[in-house]
Structure 1
Amino acid sequence: ATFSGSFSLLRGDYAIGEGAWSKFDIVANDVRIDFTIIATP
């Protein structure tokens, strides 16, 4: 079975990134996460 999906999150809501990386002009605040999970018996 394969499960794929995606979601977006705002880094600022979860305090992701520290120091220079916390600035949104270096790494966007809105980050999209794409994932695929493959389950085998």
Structure 2
Amino acid sequence: MSRKFFVGGNWKLNGDKKSLGELIQTMNGANVDPNVEVVCGAPSI
């Protein structure tokens, strides 16, 4: 079994609830290769 490629990002909480919803919608709708793991690290919600 081979490892997946990992892409990580650190979200700094700049914005509001609307921008959070837009970020989540964009990430959920992204066309990502199934061999890539995408992670967004939010300090709190």
> Normalising TM by the smaller chain, what interval?
under 0.3
In terms of fraction of residues, the more helix-rich structure is: 2
TM normalised by structure 1 equals 0.23
In terms of fraction of residues, the more strand-rich structure is: 1
Larger RCO (CA within 8 A; separation ≥ 6): 2
TM normalised by structure 2 equals 0.22
Q: Which has the larger radius of gyration?
A: 1
